[in-house]
């Protein structure tokens, strides 16, 4: 994590900016929960998903554990058992309640969790107001990390709710919203990049997670990258051409997963009277052919790319291509929570690099040269997951806009499909 640079004697302006940022992020989390009934907060639909109530409590636990307890000698938690209930994977903090059973935690209640959040908010805001100016730089780093951590859980609130609601045969909507007007995508074109030695990774004093550093050089062969993500229409062609039936398109583990789990379409798709429909956070809708295809595993993205005569980009190729692309797009802030059709005009611009869908890369999630985990519990944040996962880039329609940047490295195991994950084709030059 890069330090947040402050003047030696931080001013009230800096304090107020931190307070305002803290309040905005915390309020956005609770705003995402506004459409929910109390029953929606508790259900856990699979071990990889967590109940909304747990997410709200855990992000508060994070501030309590890493900010309030170390910096306020007299701080008292509303319940000392929360340190156990709402720990996620921080072994250095202590024992934790088993992740697959989080849906069994009916108490504390939803109302209790909101009181817990208010308690934590009050003490964080007081700390930001009253801490010694000499401590503000260090404290602001922890607050900034905690806010970025909460933004990650904002996305998980949406994706986990979608997975939970999809199991209801009534296809309930998280948020009633009519479909956007269809906008036919333009032809797929290719942007070319020459071979060379490129700088990869985060630079500067702005916030980044530790896995985005150190900045380093990589040699990249010449490559082409597609002007837009792959669409539902293109993925339907893959399906109609027997993509899920041809073992030669699949990695061995991917083919075994297809056979074992019976995959024949992206997650949330179902066929009705010969037409494909998909479950969205606004309920069941016909598959729009012009939208980016979403909810693909790495295995499916890789198989589609091979069928299409291309490949997935490496994460370094993706970062080089995206470096000068404005960070604009369909993010969680827009309130759509669903990928939108591209507006590609057929020129050499790169469309929808940010927002819409996370884009799988062919790169395994591994440390950059010179990476070292930080000491203590916060060092467990990213480094210990650098095994058996693949990197995704660019953010999605469930990602807060201020959370994303060209160097951001998301990561999931290759069979994960409940995130808004899609792909952009690449090929050798």
Residue 212 lies in a domain: yes
For 204-223, write each residue's pLDDT tens digit.
999 999 999 999 999 999 99
Q: What angle do CA 342, 348, 353 make, to 5 degrees?
A: 45
- Contact yes or no for 63/76 (Cβ under 8 A): no
Q: Could you give the CA distance from residue 346 to residue 366 in angstroms, rounded to a whole number?
A: 35
Taking 60 as the threshold, does the pLDDT of residue 10 lie above it? no
Same-domain pairing of 123 and 213: no
CATH number at residue 136: 1.20.120.450
In a domain, 5, yes or no: no
Same domain, 145 and 263: no
Asked, for residue 106, whether it belongs to a domain, the answer is yes
If one counts every other C-beta atom within 10 angstroms of the C-beta of residue 109, the result is: 14
pTM of the model: 0.95
Q: How confident is the model at residue 6 (pLDDT cuts 50, 70, 90)?
A: very low
Indicate if 277 and 413 belong to the same structural domain.
Answer: yes
The H or E element containing residue 142 is helix 133-166
Share of the chain above pLDDT 90, in %: 87
Which range marks the domain in which residue 406 is found? 190-428
Q: Are residues 107 and 246 in the same domain?
A: no
Q: Are residues 77 and 157 in the same domain?
A: yes
Same domain, 22 and 100: yes
Q: 244 with 389, same domain?
A: yes
Residues 6+ apart with CB under 8 A from 163: 45, 46, 49, 418
**Residue 66 CB partners (closer than 8 Å, separation 6+):** 142, 145, 146, 377, 378
In the predicted model, is pLDDT for residue 285 greater than 70?
yes
Please state whether the peptide bond connecting residue 108 to the residue before it is cis, i.e. omega within 30 degrees of 0.
yes
Q: Where does residue 227 rank: exposed (0-12), middle (13-18), buried (19+ CB within 10 A)? A: buried
Summarize pLDDT for 176-199 with one digit per residue, the tens. Answer: 987 776 567 778 999 999 999 999
Task: List all residues 6 or more positions away from 91 whose beta carbon is below 8 Å from its beta carbon.
Answer: 377, 380
Do 341 and 185 contact (CB within 8 A), yes or no? yes
Asked if residue 113 and residue 260 are part of one domain, the reply reads no
* Mean pLDDT, rounded, for 299-304: 98
- Number of domains comprising the chain: 2
Give a yes or no: residue 171 inside a domain: no
Same domain assignment for residues 44 and 88: yes
What is the pLDDT at residue 345?
A: 52
Residue 175 domain flag: no
Whole-angstrom distance, CA of residue 300 vs CA of residue 281: 22
Boundary of a domain, candidates 134, 166, 198: 166
If asked whether residues 79 and 147 sit together in one domain, one would say yes
How large a percentage of the chain has pLDDT more than 70? Answer: 95
**What SS3 class is residue 143?**
helix
**Total length of the chain:** 429
DSSP secondary structure, 63-77, as one string: HIIIIIHHH-TT---
162 and 300 in a single domain? The answer is: no
Q: Taking all residues of the chain, what is their mean pLDDT, rounded to a whole number?
A: 94
């Amino acid at each position: 994590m890069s330090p947040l640079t402050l003047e030696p004697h931080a001013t009230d302006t800096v304090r107020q900016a931190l307070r305002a940022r803290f309040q905005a992020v915390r309020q956005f989390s609770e705003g995402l929960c506004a459409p929910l009934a109390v029953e929606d907060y508790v259900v856990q639909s699979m071990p990889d998903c967590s109940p909304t109530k747990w997410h709200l409590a855990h992000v508060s636990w994070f501030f309590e554990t890493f900010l309030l307890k170390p910096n306020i000698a007299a701080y008292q938690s509303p319940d000392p058992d929360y340190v156990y209930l709402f720990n996620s994977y921080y072994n250095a903090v202590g024992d934790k309640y088993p992740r697959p059973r989080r849906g069994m935690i009916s108490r504390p209640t939803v109302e209790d969790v909101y009181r817990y959040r208010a308690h934590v908010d009050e003490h964080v805001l007081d700390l930001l107001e009253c801490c010694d100016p000499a401590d503000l730089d260090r404290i602001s780093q922890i607050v900034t990390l905690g806010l970025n951590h909460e933004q990650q859980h904002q996305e998980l609130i949406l994706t986990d709710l979608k997975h939970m609601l999809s199991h209801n045969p009534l296809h309930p909507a998280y948020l009633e919203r009519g479909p956007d007007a269809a906008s036919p995508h333009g032809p797929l074109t290719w942007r070319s990049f020459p071979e060379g030695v490129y700088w990869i990774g985060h630079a500067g004093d702005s916030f980044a997670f530790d896995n985005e550093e150190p900045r380093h050089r990589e040699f990249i062969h010449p490559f082409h990258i597609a002007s837009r993500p792959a669409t539902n229409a293109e993925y339907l062609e893959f399906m109609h051409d027997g993509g899920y039936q041809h073992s030669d398109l699949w990695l061995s583990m991917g083919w075994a997963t297809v056979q074992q789990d019976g995959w024949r379409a992206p997650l949330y798709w179902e066929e009705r009277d010969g037409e494909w429909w998909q479950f969205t956070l606004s309920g069941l809708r016909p598959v729009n052919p012009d939208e980016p295809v979403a909810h693909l595993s790495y295995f499916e993205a890789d198989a589609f790319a091979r069928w299409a005569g291309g490949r997935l980009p490496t994460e370094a190729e993706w970062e080089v291509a995206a470096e000068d692309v404005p960070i604009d797009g369909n993010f969680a802030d827009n309130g759509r929570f669903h990928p939108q059709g591209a507006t590609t005009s057929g020129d050499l611009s790169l469309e929808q690099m940010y927002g819409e869908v996370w884009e799988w890369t062919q790169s395994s999630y591994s440390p950059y040269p010179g990476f070292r985990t930080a000491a203590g519990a916060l060092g467990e944040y990213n480094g210990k997951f650098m095994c058996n996962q693949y990197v995704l880039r660019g953010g999605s329609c469930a990602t807060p806009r201020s959370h994303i940047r060209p160097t951001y490295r998301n990561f999931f195991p290759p069979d994960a499909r409940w995130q808004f994950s899609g792909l952009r084709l690449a090929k050798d030059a």
